Structure 1
Amino acid sequence: MKTQINKYSNNFIYNIINEDFKKNKCSLLHTRFPPEPNGYLHIGHAKSICLNFELASLYNGYCNLRFDDTNPVKENIKYINAIINDITWLGYKWNKKIYYSSEYFSELYKYAKELIKKNLAYVDQLTKKQIREYRGTLVIPGKNSPYRNRSIEENLQLFKEMKKGYFNPGEACLRAKIDMSSPNIIMRDPVLYRVIFEKHHQTKHQWCIYPMYDFAHCISDSIEGITHSFCTLEFQDNKCLYNWILENTSVLNRPKQYEFARLNLKYSILSKRKIKILIEKKIINDWDDPRIQTISGLRRKGYTPSSIRKFCEKIGVTKQNNLIEFSMLEYCIRNELNENAIRTMAVLEPIKLYLYNIDDNYQENFIVPNHPKKPELGNHEITFTNTIYIEREDFKEKYENNYKRLKIGQEIRLRYSYIIKAEKIEKDKYGNIIQIICFCDLNTLGKKPINRKNPSVIHWISVKNSFSSEFRLYEKLFNIHNPEQEQNFLSFLNPNSMIIKHGFIEKQISEKIKKHINDIKNKNINLFFQFERVGYFCIDLIDSKKNKLIFNRTVSLRDTWNLKKQLI
């Protein structure tokens, strides 16, 4: 088997597959991505998606999408649809159809009975609490259940009665008969089946007993002909059970399990259970909140499929757990948007500026580039009048020596336009600035000032050429590097993880967006902008409407988070 060298040709898994081909242990690579439909996918899942699909492509093999749907209590068709959407959006296509472990419930039941007939499984009637107590600890071996030595015939009958619904949840379960003194606690007679009276999203009310993940997972791999089963390191101890089930049932195929380090990202929570807590406590809005690193949250924030794939490529695949810098994720999208985002001006926290020496009816239009280094991206028109908005932080009323932007008596250049000089301010009766009164030097368009220092440049928008918009500025949701490790992780929330500003964008840009807003939403295709001196933004495809445009900041122009920490 000849493979092309690419970004996934340099890790230990690639070397394992290569050896298997060399030794004729494998003639066609068949991988799978097997999410449980009990929540949305996150950036950690993206790493696994990229690995499985990219390796299958590299070796001209197949990658299945299979939902390991063995617990109807936690699963939801909404999660299935979201997962399908995320994988499609990332740019991957699965082999043939979508698979479900629930398709194999009849076969799984048959293999469970086979274990009973081999005296390798039994129906236990200990409570959940008793099962935990009997299991022992890392230093204390477990002890056998009093139901462990039931006859094969009795276990078959009881298992049949479980299937018919004669037992309530928690009253009976099927356990493997392995070794209650095993140093690997997972091998101390693990539960294989339990009773659940819930409607299943695929099989409806056909079943009231459901296989445990560990039992269904390996057999599903076998049925589908998976050759290499990749999972993260927390499943390393489960490998013994994976192999035990395959070795003790009459399955035809014997996949091999290999583990790699899961993705741990600084300042982030990736646990589905903890994300659900954040949603329930209304700390975040839903699974697609841009402050969390679900794929849908990242998409809504403005991340692209290529930036996420690039990030997964850069972090690589190893067996060493580590905590990845959040700035690496931001680096990948910042680099991409720097190349492709349309440059335009927006004022997020406006203050009005009046140019007193220009007539009220005066209007001048400038053609400006959409990208300074990419003429192929075209141009757009901006309008200059005597009343404009600038950022509030670009003006200081009180004199500061090192302040390089606008202050009384100081010159500044308006981007693409003239040099102006602030002369006075007007305030209301409460002391709030109404507007800044300035002189505009009409001889400085595109020219350096004669015998004067070249001033700093600020952005602006003409009041007549403005469209009111909302801007959502996102920062890390947590203030500490590894909130996953904290039992009381909610104590470390960043109170400024989302700041909402109300300002203006250029009217020409807003007209273009409004014209195509329905197509943008329906096709899930976003538009990206660099609001000059502010950051990279995209349209919020969920909350935006024609009469109310909302922009999410995808990423700042540079890593301001680490810069802030250095200054503290």
Structure 2
Amino acid sequence: KIDMAHSNLNMRDPVMYRILHATHHRTGDEWCIYPMYDYAHCISDAIEGITHSLCSLEFEDHRPLYDWILDNITIECHPQQIEFARLNPNYMITSKRKLKKLVDGEYVSGWNDPRMPTISGLRRRGYTPGALRKFCEATGVSKANGVIDAGLLEWAIRDDLDSSAPRAMCVLDPIKVTISNYDEDKVENLELSAHPKDESFGKRKLNFTKEVWIDRQDFMEDAPKKFFRLAPGKEVRLRGSYIIKCDEVIKNEQGEVVELICSYDPDTLGKKPEGRKVKGVIHWADVKSSVPVEVRLYDRLFSVPSPEAADENGVVKEFTENLNPESLKVVHGYLEADCAEKLKANPEIGAFQFEREGYFVTDSIDSSADKLIFNKIVSLKDSWEKVK
């Protein structure tokens, strides 16, 4: 019999099941007995032949009842319950009740929103099974509750994709460059390695013409001394091609830079220039052949490490007040044609590294051959380290 003087409250006359004569919303009037969790947990484990039932630490005090029920019924299997600390990464919330509040409140697009720490969300974001296993191996199993740095999860996916993701160039914030001394109708076919560390990935083909896109952040009109990218009168190398020099800046009526007129050195394809040193190398995309793409730049869902903790003034805010307003930005850019053709031939090709930007994967729901939509998986470096 159960001991009413037992030191564990769970062993003092526990409720095993409820009897309720009411119509169930799914099963109707089929039965009226509803087992409690402690009663159903151990018996369902035993019926299914579970050897080890893994639970989080809050179920440690329930283990004696788990064992007592199995010891007092006739059943072949007797599983062993083992408890461990919950995996609590910072900048995240894993409570299903609170995640449901994010979904119901339309703070996110759904359970499979790429910012959500759900299996469907992580899969859509581009996280691989290998990266999740690597993350779990790195964190290990503990009996003490603690907080795991989300940067460790990001390290795991970077490390996993570094060897498996082919490279491509995508200009996310494009500004047009016209090369004044390049022939109007000339097209050069260039080749770049699809992966710098693995020749088995082969080569990728690039077209080079009179007009190319570069990223706006790679140009600065009043550049400081240590800015090694493009600026008026300065030179930079276009990745895998020529060195260009900025000769003229064209602006619109609002004073925004809309085009750069540059000249190129035809003797610098695969060679260093004579008599001068050019440090900067930037990515680019050919205007004629590149493919327009939508890119969703995802970041951490919360702006503080502990969304439910008190702030520096001791005030505990509603966790939704700590949402990161910069967790999603949508931009439109241009992708090198070779990458787009590979995706058209094989939509399941997986993630790419957009050089100098990060790792990206096509959105499993919204992307199509006619309209490529990419989700940012992770940046090449931990940008949050600077914020901290």
Match for residue 531 of structure 1?
Answer: 354
Match for 1:514 among 341, 344, 348? 344
Q: Secondary structure at the match of 1:465?
A: coil
Equivalent residues, number: 380
- Measure the CA separation in 1 of the matches of 2:252 and 2:76: 83
1:443 aligns with 2:271: no
Q: 1:336 aligns with which of 142, 153, 160?
A: 160
The residue aligned with 2:367 is 544
Any stretches of 5+ residues in structure 1 without a counterpart? 1-119, 121-176, 521-525
Shift in Å, 1:460: 0.3
Q: Tell me which residue corresponds to 2:78.
A: 254
On the 8 A contact 1:345/1:461 being kept in 2, the answer is yes
Find the counterpart in structure 1 of residue 377 from structure 2. Answer: 554
Alpha-carbon distance in structure 1 between the residues aligned to 2:162 and 2:50: 41
Write the deviation string for residues 42-71 of structure 1: whole angstroms up to 9, x where unpaired: xxxxxxxxxxxxxxxxxxxxxxxxxxxxxx
Aligned pairs for 1:369-518 within 5 A: 369-484=193-308, 488-517=318-347
Matched residue, 2:116: 292
* Partner AA of 1:488 in structure 2: E
Distance of 2:369 and 2:263 partners within structure 1: 37
Q: Taking CA–CA contacts closer than 8 Å with sequence separation of 6 or more, which of the two structures ends up with the larger relative contact order?
A: 2
Superposition TM-score, scaled by structure 1 size: 0.64
SS of 1:237's partner is: helix
Q: What is the aligned-residue RMSD (CA, Å)?
A: 2.0
Match of residue 147 from structure 1: none
CA distance in 2 between counterparts of 1:564 and 1:453 reads: 34
Give per-residue Cα distances to partners, 1:523-555, cap 9 Å, x unaligned: xxx521111100011111111022211111111
Specify which of 35, 44, 61 is matched with residue 211 of structure 1: 35
Residues 292, 405 of structure 1: alpha-carbon distance in 2 compared, 3 angstrom cutoff: same
Per the alignment, residue 24 of structure 2 pairs with 198
1:400: Cα distance to partner? 2.2
How far off is 1:265 after superposition? 0.9
CA contact (8 A) 2:308 2:318 kept: no
Asked if residue 304 in structure 1 is aligned to residue 304 in structure 2, the reply is: no
Is the radius of gyration larger for structure 1 or structure 2? 1
Extract unaligned runs of 5+ from structure 2: 310-315
Q: Map 1:206-245 onto structure 2 (within 5 A).
A: 206-245=30-69
Match of 1:46? Answer: none
The answer to whether 1:563 aligns with 2:365 is: no
State the one-letter code of the partner of 1:216: A
Counterparts in 2 of 1:341 and 1:207: CA distance versus 1, 3 Å: same
Q: State whether residues 193 and 203 of structure 2, in contact with CA within 8 Å, keep that contact through their aligned partners in structure 1.
A: yes
Letter of the 1:562 partner, please give it: E
User: CA separation in 2, counterparts of 1:205 and 1:548?
Assistant: 50
Q: Report the CA distance between 1:187 and its aligned residue.
A: 4.1
In structure 1, C-alpha distance between the alignment counterparts of 2:32 and 2:109, rounded to whole Å: 34
Give the 5 Å matches for 1:145-164: none
Distance 1:531 1:246, change over 3 A: same
Shift in CA distance, 254/273, structure 1 to aligned 2, threshold 3 Å: same
Question: Would the alpha carbon gap of residues 562 and 204 (structure 1) be closer, same or farther in structure 2, given more than 3 Å must change?
Answer: farther
Alpha-carbon distance in 2 for matches of 1:296, 1:254: 33
Q: Which residue of 2 aligns with 1:85?
A: none
CA distance in 2, matches of 1:305, 1:227: 24
Give 1:248 shift.
3.9
Greater mean deviation of Cα atoms: 321-330 or 342-351: 321-330
For residue 393 of structure 1, report the CA deviation from its aligned partner. Answer: 0.5
Output the CA distance in 2 between the equivalents of 1:304 and 1:234: 30
Amino acid at match of 1:528: A
Letter in 1 for 2:324: N
Residues 279 and 285 of structure 1 are in contact (CA less than 8 Å); yes or no, is this contact kept in structure 2? yes
CA contact under 8 A between 1:278 and 1:284: conserved in structure 2? yes
Shift of 1:310: 1.7
Q: Does 1:351 align with 2:181?
A: no
Q: Partners of 1:418 and 1:276 in 2: how far apart?
A: 52
Q: Is the 8 A contact 1:222 1:255 kept in 2?
A: yes
Deviations 1:119-166 (A, max 9, x none): x7xxxxxxxxxxxxxxxxxxxxxxxxxxxxxxxxxxxxxxxxxxxxxx
CA contact (8 A) 1:420 1:441 kept: yes
When residues 205 and 287 of structure 1 are mapped into structure 2, their CA distance, relative to the original with a 3 A threshold, is: farther
Is the helix fraction higher in 1 or 2?
1
Amino acid at match of 1:198: H
Shift in Å at residue 341 of structure 1? 0.8
